[in-house]
């Protein structure tokens, strides 16, 4: 009688490897924002305070770095919707989420050309739309259900506002202006009796 084959399970990455991966993604995001998506991989490794070999173990190509930064930004933004709804009133959750979206839009503007040039980039880039629409629908639905906002507010309105806010994103001071416009828009969504 033969003994059963040992069960194999995927090994969880070591904690230090996970930390290095996260440091590399954060360093890449900062480097892309400051120097553009063509910044050298050596510079990204230097900023993350790891060797170039560590970078290549996690990201074998520049495309992999760009995609990881985009996935992280998109994932953080879409996951923030539920967290914010649990922590704040629905309208303030929507405001906070829209303010977070400015950082996502700023990163997306810098890496979009590089992302679209990768083999899987355009598919990944296009997948962001439905994920963002779903987050916006949850936030707007909660705000409508709470009665905090005008009943004619639609998720598509918010998506359209984001597109408009991103216009001019290459201009200096764009982020501060975008956040101010978001505050104006959110205050304008309140039911008339609830406006400050």
Residue 171: the pLDDT is 76
Residue 193: the pLDDT is 67
- Model's pTM, two decimal places? 0.80
Number of neighbours of residue 194 by Cβ within 10 angstroms: 13
What span, in angstroms and rounded, lies between the C-alpha atoms of 186 and 84?
Answer: 15
The label of the residue with tokens 């405001």 reads 95
pLDDT per residue as tens digits for the range 167-182: 776 777 788 989 999 9
pLDDT at 58 over 90: yes
What span, in angstroms and rounded, lies between the C-alpha atoms of 101 and 131?
Answer: 13
Q: How confident is the model at residue 2 (pLDDT cuts 50, 70, 90)?
A: very low
pLDDT at 187 over 80: yes
Residue 190's beta-bridge partner residues? Answer: 149
Query: With pLDDT > 90 as the criterion, what percentage of the chain qualifies?
Result: 55
Higher-scoring residue by pLDDT: 24, 116: 24
Of 2-16, 30-44, 171-185, minimum mean pLDDT range: 2-16
Residue 126: the pLDDT is 76
Residue 138: the pLDDT is 96
pLDDT at 33 over 50: yes
Q: What mean pLDDT comes out for the span 145-152? A: 94
Residue 149's beta-bridge partner residues? Answer: 190
pLDDT per residue as tens digits for the range 89-142: 999 999 999 999 998 888 888 888 777 777 776 777 777 888 899 999 999 999
Residue 10: the pLDDT is 56
Q: Is 7 exposed, middle or buried (0-12, 13-18, 19+ CB in 10 A)?
A: exposed
């Amino acid at each position: 009688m033969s003994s059963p084959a040992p069960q194999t399970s995927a090994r969880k990455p070591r904690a230090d490897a996970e930390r290095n991966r996260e440091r590399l993604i954060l360093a890449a995001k900062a480097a892309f924002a400051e120097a553009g998506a063509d910044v050298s991989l050596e510079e990204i490794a230097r900023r993350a305070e790891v060797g170039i070999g560590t970078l290549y173990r996690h990201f074998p190509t520049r495309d992999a770095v760009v995609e990881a930064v985009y996935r992280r930004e998109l994932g953080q933004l879409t996951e923030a919707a539920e967290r914010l709804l649990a922590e704040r009133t629905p309208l303030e959750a929507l405001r906070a989420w829209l303010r977070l979206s400015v950082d996502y839009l700023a990163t997306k503007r810098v890496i979009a050309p590089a992302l679209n040039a990768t083999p899987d980039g355009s598919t990944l880039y296009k997948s962001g739309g439905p994920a963002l629409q779903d987050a916006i629908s949850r936030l707007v639905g909660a705000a409508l259900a709470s009665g905090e906002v005008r009943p004619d507010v639609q998720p598509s309105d918010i998506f359209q506002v984001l597109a408009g806010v991103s216009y001019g994103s290459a201009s200096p001071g764009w982020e501060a202006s975008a956040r101010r416009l978001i505050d104006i828009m959110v205050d304008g969504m309140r039911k008339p009796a609830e406006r400050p």
